[in-house]
Structure 1
Amino acid sequence: MLTVGKNEHDVERRLQAGRLRCPDCDGCLAGWGRAGQRTIWGNGWFRRIRPRRSRCRGCGRTHVLLPVDALWHRRDDVSVIGEALTRSALGEGVRSIARVLGRPEATVRAWIRRMRVIAESVRAAFTLVRAVLVSEAPALAAAPSPLADAVNAVLAAAAAAGQGFAELADIAARAPWEVACAVTGGMLLAPPIIGFRINMNHTLVAFGR
């Protein structure tokens, strides 16, 4: 899995130019057909995509090129999911969040439950990302819950990415959860048995930088 931009034509151009690298060995990726069609649901909009598949010319592994606003096995835009998690971290209930976002309660509850399970891993990983990007970054204040600690770490790391990379400043401010998606290769809410890997080297690539 590799996160890339949301513009399919730009993704194809970069793929053909050899500018997309394998997340496993850093080899050059080549086109390898397409994955199945899926729909990404945002806040008042949706779009249908059929992600490009790629194959590494070095190690031979294949990867789905997932848009930077889409998480693995989630049909909703990552910013919508992030807003739900942020609202939950602030103490808002599932029913209220679902109503505001126009999502089924069961769906919102599933996002929050998943984050609660992996909260400590997320907090630790994104705290490290922030520390790498911002030297001598002050420690984040403890939050009322592990979920809130995780959300705070994600948002702080995204802000640090905007400080560390001028190219990401606007994106980090406007869509911090897209940065989180890029950093984890779309696997932010993957089950613990699968997990996610932090890879800052591919973050700029994800946004076409």
Structure 2
Amino acid sequence: MFVLVRRVDLADVIGAALVWKASGAGARSIAARLARPVDTVRGWLRRFERRAEHICVYFTVLLVDTGVDPIPPALAPTPFAQAVSAVIGAWRAAVSRWPDIGKVSPWQAASAASGGRLLSPIWP
């Protein structure tokens, strides 16, 4: 799945914004990098931040359940960054078991794992 429900931009574009935010970038600089409206980017970041704890738990469980020799992600400085780390960690764990999953990005895999609802208020 390459898109998220009710989003025009591809999962990879939104995922890039989430990674940059986890690294400390602000909405304006992310919007400029992606050539997207700042309000759109701010909306993605706020929605993910509101759901960060739930996203982190969901993808950490997925990581542990799918990994050949799972290693949970190290603690991150913020819940937002922790959730991003869990998403990427779950993708790595899936790739360790099923190498062909590496043909898609972590954000495409996260979109598929969430049924396209990664930023949905009613998921997980």
TM-score (norm 1): 0.57
SS of residue paired to 2:77: coil
Question: Could you tell me which residue of structure 2 aligns to residue 86 of structure 1?
Answer: 19
Match 1:126 to one of 52, 59, 80: 59
Question: Could you tell me which residue of structure 1 aligns to residue 109 of structure 2?
Answer: 179
Question: Could you tell me which residue of structure 2 aligns to residue 73 of structure 1?
Answer: 6
In 2, Cα distance between equivalents of 1:112 and 1:148: 11
Question: Could you tell me which residue of structure 2 aligns to residue 140 of structure 1?
Answer: 73
RMSD in angstroms over aligned alpha carbons?
1.1
Structure 1 unmatched ranges of 5 or more:
1-67, 197-209
Question: Normalized per residue, which structure has more helix?
Answer: 2
- Cα deviation 1:46-65 (Å, max 9, x = unaligned): xxxxxxxxxxxxxxxxxxxx
- Cα deviation 1:91-117 (Å, max 9, x = unaligned): 011111000000000000000000110
Letter in 1 for 2:118: L
CA contact (8 A) 2:68 2:97 kept: no
In 2, Cα distance between equivalents of 1:140 and 1:149: 8
CA contact (8 A) 1:94 1:108 kept: yes
1:168 CA displacement: 1.2
CA contact (8 A) 1:162 1:170 kept: no
Letter in 2 for 1:104: P
Structure of greater relative contact order (alpha carbons < 8 Å, 6+ residues apart): 2
Say whether 1:190 aligns with 2:123.
no
Question: Normalized per residue, which structure has more strand?
Answer: 1
1:136 CA displacement: 4.6
Question: Could you tell me which residue of structure 2 aligns to residue 112 of structure 1?
Answer: 45
Letter in 2 for 1:159: R
In 2, Cα distance between equivalents of 1:134 and 1:144: 24
SS of residue paired to 1:143: coil
Count of aligned pairs between the two proteins: 124
Q: Percent identity?
A: 40
SS of residue paired to 1:106: helix
1:139 CA displacement: 3.0
